[in-house]
Amino acid sequence: MADGCACDRHVHMYLTVAEALRRGLSVAHPVTGIETLPLQQAIGRVLAEDCSSKVDMPAFDNSAMDGYAIRTGDLGDGPLFDLPIGGRVAAGDSGAHDAPAGSALRIFTGAPVPPEFDAVMMQEDCEASATHIRFARRPRPGQHIRRAGEDLKAGAPILCRGCEIGPREAAALASSGHGQVRVCRKLKVTIFSTGSELRQPDEELSPGQIYNSNRYMLLALLDKPWVDLTDRGPVADDPDLLEQVLREACDTSDLIITTGGVSVGDEDHMPRLFSEIGGETDVMKVAMKPGKPVMFGRRGDALYIGLPGNPVSAYVTWRIIGSPMMARRAGLRRPRLVSERGVLAEPLQRLPGRQEYRPVRIDGSNSDGRPRLRLLAASYSGRVALLAQADGLAVIPAETGYLPEDHPLEFLRF
């Protein structure tokens, strides 16, 4: 396993998953174009610059409760306090009032607290008539007042570039006065699935034909507001046709993703064609199961990822290697894949050699509260429907051969 390579039982050398991913990320350069959009159109896009608050939050002293603003200096010795109600301020009012000295001000949550008032009494703690309030507990100065800038001062950082503008980010941007947002331009992605055997799911199958799963899987995986997708559909294993589509895709896209045709069979044309049109291949084989063969490379600014044809392999390689590369290319800064720890619901026996990603179902939890992972069939690489019944992928290290029941195991939740 030294220098990032792993040997399987055959003599070929493969890259480890970690090394392949490292190389993939190192060639996935973030797009540089930036657009400025109104916040409502920027939702789901990738933030292109660090943002700080344009205003103090809150912007002014305001009431945290429905109740009565008072001047604590007006209060006598107690034990019971009695104040006339001299005015009223609600959220959205300017805070102007005509409550005379010695009176309380009816106030509501979010309403500005005028500067001379220094505490708010919760209405639940007051006995109120139409004209007076009475209460027994002396309020603390500052009680139930949210001070201007106490959450965040103008100029304080709120978001780092490279995040996806989701609900929390959109609210943060809005609350701090960002009506216009600078986002990375959309990533131009072209997909096609290679294979003369492929038919659409609404067509009749003739002998030797199968339904095209990968096209729909990729359509779903790439359904993102920051992707500008060109779907070239299926392309037959005809070298001239494949070359034309691949060349066109490389000329017009930031990222090209294909499935199939990257292995060593006579009909596996993609590695040769990519090199013939001037592409430079960075990675050809990765010691992962399922997954090999997978390739990626560059041609000019275009990044090419050739996923295996086998749909489960295509999904797994996408999840482990392709998706982080695409995220980086789109300008996203994301933590690496986050795995969780479960335990085996049954013993595991397999041939060591390649890092394996095995679909698992979560079957309750053990006495420590760890999810119990039930492994789905070992020979699964063509059974893509199994993925839809799984809850995640267990990560089985390359060197692992046998693990007993209840042994800890990392898994990636879907």
Q: Which is nearer to ligand AMP, 260 or 371 (CB)?
A: 260
Q: From 360, 370, 368, 366, select the one nearest 411 (Cα to Cα).
A: 360
Among 114, 261, 271, 353, binds ligand AMP (CB under 6 A): 261
Q: Which is nearer to ligand AMP, 36 or 200 (CB)?
A: 200
283 within 8 A of 305, measured Cβ to Cβ: no
Q: Which is nearer to Mg ion, 58 or 290 (CB)?
A: 290
72 within 8 A of 104, measured Cβ to Cβ: no
Kindly state the smallest distance separating residue 294's Cβ from ligand AMP, in Å.
Answer: 10
Considering only the stretches 175-183, 308-316, 323-331, 354-362, report the one whose residues sit in contact with ligand AMP under the rule CB under 6 A.
Answer: 308-316
Kindly state the smallest distance separating residue 294's Cβ from Mg ion, in Å.
Answer: 14
Amino acid at 114: P
Asked if 112 interacts with ligand AMP (CB under 6 A), we say no
| Distance separating alpha carbons of residues 344 and 394, to the nearest angstrom | 10
- The answer to whether the bond into 79 is cis (omega within 30° of 0) is yes
148 within 8 A of 56, measured Cβ to Cβ: yes
Considering only the stretches 54-62, 302-310, 341-349, 357-365, report the one whose residues sit in contact with Mg ion under the rule CB under 5 A.
Answer: 302-310
Asked if 195 interacts with ligand AMP (CB under 6 A), we say yes
Cα atoms in the 13 Å half-sphere on the side-chain side of 45: 24
Asked if 258 interacts with ligand AMP (CB under 6 A), we say no
Asked if 317 interacts with ligand AMP (CB under 6 A), we say no
Among 51, 184, 198, 305, binds ligand AMP (CB under 6 A): 198
Quickly list DSSP for 322-347. IHHHHHHHTT---PPPPPEEEEESS-
**Residue 259 contacts which entry, ligand AMP, Mg ion, none (Cβ below 5-8 A, type-dependent):** ligand AMP
Q: Which is nearer to Mg ion, 195 or 271 (CB)?
A: 195
Q: What is the CA radius of gyration of the chain?
A: 31
Phi-psi region for residue 4, left (φ > 0), alpha (ψ -120 to 50) or beta? left
Asked if 195 interacts with Mg ion (CB under 5 A), we say yes
Q: Using CA atoms of 258, 260, 263, 264 in order, give the dihedral in degrees to the nearest 10.
A: -110
Kindly state the smallest distance separating residue 261's Cβ from ligand AMP, in Å.
Answer: 5
Backbone φ, ψ for residue 242 (5° rounding): -60, -40
Asked if 308 interacts with ligand AMP (CB under 6 A), we say yes
Q: From 312, 309, 285, 293, select the one nearest 237 (Cα to Cα).
A: 309
Q: Using CA atoms of 318, 319, 320, 326 in order, give the dihedral in degrees to the nearest 10.
A: 70
The structure tokens listed for 98 are: 């005509």
Q: Which is nearer to Mg ion, 313 or 400 (CB)?
A: 313
Q: Which is nearer to ligand AMP, 18 or 210 (CB)?
A: 210
Asked if 309 interacts with Mg ion (CB under 5 A), we say yes
> Taking CB positions, which residue lies at the least distance from ligand AMP?
309
Q: Which is nearer to Mg ion, 260 or 306 (CB)?
A: 260
Q: From 285, 286, 281, select the one nearest 299 (Cα to Cα).
A: 281
Amino acid at 390: A
Q: Which is nearer to ligand AMP, 267 or 282 (CB)?
A: 267
Size of the site for ligand AMP (CB under 6 A): 19
Site for Mg ion, residues 229 to 288, rule: CB under 5 A: 260-261
Positions in the binding site for ligand AMP (CB under 6 A): 193, 195, 197-198, 210, 212-215, 259-261, 263, 265, 268, 308-311
Binding site for Mg ion (CB under 5 A): 195, 260-261, 309
